[in-house]
Structure 1
Amino acid sequence: MPNFSYKALGRDGKEVRGVLQAESEAAAASRIRENYPILLSISQKKEKKRPDEGSLLEMEIGSRRIKTKKLAILCSQFALTLHSGMTVAHAMRMLADQNEDKRIRKILGAAAEEVAAGSTVASALEKYSDRFPLTFIETIRAGEQSGTLERSFDRLQKFYEKSYKTTEKIKGAMTYPLFVVAVAVVVLIIVMAKVIPTLADVFADLGGTLPLMTRMLIATSHFFAKWWLLMLAVLAFLKIGSQVYGNTPQGRIEKEKIMLSLPLVGAINQMNGAAQFANTMSVLLAAGITINQAVDTTAKVMDNALLSEDVRSMREGIERGRSLVECLQGKKYFPPTMVDMCSVGEETGELEETLDNVADYYANEADYRIQRLLALLEPTMLVVLAIFAGIIVVSIYLPIFTMYDLM
């Protein structure tokens, strides 16, 4: 359908400019007058598109999803403006003007014109489903249908803020161990590439038979010096190959099975999955979405493929009249205690609140276990590094002690 640019006066007397799609100029004018009493001008917009190139919006925005923190801020701003009595289209224009992110600014600006022309917020934003999560769009749609759009944005703000904090906790907890490993690898490379070859030349000039440990260290150093490029290529090949296979349906399932079966880490991944399930279901049900639709949406947004399949299989049972708890029973990858907690929520008629509490419980439990794991990991890493350092030091000093004995 062609695009029409227009200029009109609103009920408050302010001039409004915009663009909308319609079958004809008359149809466009009719839709505009539904929102603005006085139509000043309208004309068909000529579309200019260079060959093999997307629209300006697509070029500037790209295909990357909007980050969780920015979604939380955006939902908070939407809730605040709508609670103040501002219209949705006006709120979107204002937030578009104020937002520093070029992608969000472009999306909100285009969506505001569609909403002003009569489109729903969910329909306007659904065109950018590669930028916004499915949970975001479906919750907004439910909020519009039930007339509780402000509350939907409130819930989404809490949902994304909670998700962001959980992610940041995990990143923060992993920073120190990764830093220690990185420093250790750099030091090891320098020692093996520079220090050991120099000492090997010195020992060769002195003559005599070197201890076995020293000979093994020098041989390892020579091996790395000779084959480092090949080893780097092999590692790169394995990395790329594992990523390509991991992105296939079967590869993703195999990867998730390994992650869920690992000692200590498997339980943490299971708890994070339970927290994501409970949190998403709580937000969707509180927004007024039916339980079978909420289950379907939750299955699509789950990070873990095995948990996603477990959730997807629940829909058939719910459509047959079974409760959520009955469908959860026997699911291999969900913690058994979650079923008991949800059972209480169903019996008391407070399933949304119970799911919210379940999400908090498992998120906190996963965070606690991560902290415990890191508390064990740090001294273990130090012991391993000390052993490596000890082997290198002993290998270097053994020839010196041998020479002193011979003297």
Structure 2
Amino acid sequence: MITYKYSALSPDGDKVNGVVNAIDEYTAVEKIRADCPIVLKIEPVKKGGIYDILGADIGGKKVDAKALSVMCSQFAVIIGSGISIEGCLNMVSAQTEDKKLKKMLSMSAEDVSQGTSLATAFEKNYPQLPPLFIETVRAGEMSGTLDASFNNLYEYYKRSNLVSQKTKSAMAYPMFVLAVAAVVLVIIMVKVMPTFTSMFKDFGAELPTITVVLIAITNWFQKGWMLIAGIAAVLFIAFKLWTHNEKGRLQWSKLTLKMPTMGKINKLNASQQFSTSMASLIGSGLTVAQALKVTSKCIDNYAIAKEVSSMSEKIETGAALSDVIKSSEFLPDVLKEMTGVGERTGELVKTLQTVGAYYTQETEYATQKMIARLEPTMLVFIAIIAGFIVLAIYLPMFTMYNYM
């Protein structure tokens, strides 16, 4: 839950200042307008301090997409069978293994029994739930299609979890190889090389250049490891500070879109997030403007998220989605054209679902292709380092044997 401070005008025209807790800015404005029809200014309360920056994502309560997907499928089936919301919550709670979701469902059942709406109960008892989940449930309640909304959420989170698992699986081997190589290199530098260095010094003969270089690197590493760690820490903190403010975060997100290979993957991923989120939200009954606001919270890349958020403002002035999406700097032309076709034919949800499936496949293919290129590159790099160390150690040993 985010805390916002605001200035607004009451029905009597008096200026009112205050704070409100909400899952996002859109929800905060809705809460303020319940008492004050005109909102003059709203902004999140800043939580300064370097510890907030370093610990922002550490120890958080991130929702497990797989558990959320299973929960949504259970809701869709049980609600469709005609059981009450309270009974549904108790049944799903009994079947859910995820402790956080189980606790949230039990507490939500109590709130719903006292007259609280399902979306409000979820938002209250588990603030870390994604905005897309909360708003889709809220739209389903308002339109009377809660079972369809949960079914849309099930499909969305099942697909998201599948993409995430495939990416993690593809990256597991390269990351393991890098980790092992780093550990072995540190052991060689700290434990093995000092022994050979003292032996070479006792030998007294002139050492090959490659061995001298390795000894110099080893000595520097042993004496300067604290300096290396300090520089790494400073760079990490500087990066976190830079990306924590609006300007730096925007610059970094734009930079990630221009990176070789990774830039393409980031654009494809944002395209599938946009398509699948919009399809789920519009299919659940949200207006296009509302769907765009929520979708902007679901896109990982901040630059594209800002673009999508600005689109909702243009839609509210009466512009068509097909027109405002054309102004996007980063979304691909295929997505823009297909969105226009879907809007003109009245099949926007179905078109976005098709486009979302296409970009999901493209994201997976691009990621696998990158991993396929990365693995041999890493092996060649590791082989060069290993070859350098082996030559640096064995060349002077051959010289020693000649003198014996």
Give the TM-score normalised by structure 1.
0.81
1:87 maps to 2:84:
yes
Deviates more, 1:199-208 or 1:147-156: 199-208
1:199 alignment partner AA: F
Structure 1 contact 272–362 (Cα < 8 Å) conserved: yes
Query: Could you tell me which residue of structure 2 aligns to residue 71 of structure 1?
Result: 68
RMSD of aligned Cα (Å): 1.7
Aligned pairs for 1:7-406 within 5 A: 64-128=61-125, 130-403=127-400
- Which secondary structure state, in structure 1, belongs to the residue aligned with residue 115 of structure 2? coil
Structure 1 contact 111–121 (Cα < 8 Å) conserved: yes
Measure how far apart 1:344 and its partner are.
2.0
Structure 1 contact 114–124 (Cα < 8 Å) conserved: yes
Query: Could you tell me which residue of structure 2 aligns to residue 41 of structure 1?
Result: none
In structure 1, how many angstroms separate the alpha carbons of the residues matched to 2:393 and 2:99?
A: 58
In structure 1, how many angstroms separate the alpha carbons of the residues matched to 2:248 and 2:350?
A: 36
Measure how far apart 1:284 and its partner are.
0.5
Measure how far apart 1:204 and its partner are.
1.1
Measure how far apart 1:309 and its partner are.
0.8
> Percent identity among equivalent residues?
43
Structure 2 contact 315–324 (Cα < 8 Å) conserved: yes
- Deviations along 1:18-53, one digit per CA (max 9) or x if unpaired, are xxxxxxxxxxxxxxxxxxxxxxxxxxxxxxxxxxxx
Structure 1 contact 286–352 (Cα < 8 Å) conserved: yes
1:252 alignment partner AA: R
Measure how far apart 1:129 and its partner are.
5.5
Change (3 A) 1:109 1:400: closer
Structure 2 contact 140–284 (Cα < 8 Å) conserved: yes
In structure 1, how many angstroms separate the alpha carbons of the residues matched to 2:66 and 2:115?
A: 30
Deviates more, 1:265-274 or 1:130-139: 130-139
The structure whose Rg is larger is: 1
Structure 1 contact 65–130 (Cα < 8 Å) conserved: no
- Deviations along 1:325-368, one digit per CA (max 9) or x if unpaired, are 11110311111111122122122211101111111111111110
Any stretches of 5+ residues in structure 2 without a counterpart?
A: 1-58
- Which secondary structure state, in structure 1, belongs to the residue aligned with residue 327 of structure 2? coil
Structure 1 contact 63–130 (Cα < 8 Å) conserved: no
Give the TM-score normalised by structure 2.
0.82
Structure 1 contact 214–396 (Cα < 8 Å) conserved: yes
- Deviations along 1:145-204, one digit per CA (max 9) or x if unpaired, are 111101110110111111111111111110010011111111111111122111111111
1:322 alignment partner AA: A
Structure 2 contact 132–277 (Cα < 8 Å) conserved: yes
In structure 2, how many angstroms separate the alpha carbons of the residues matched to 1:235 and 1:279?
A: 38
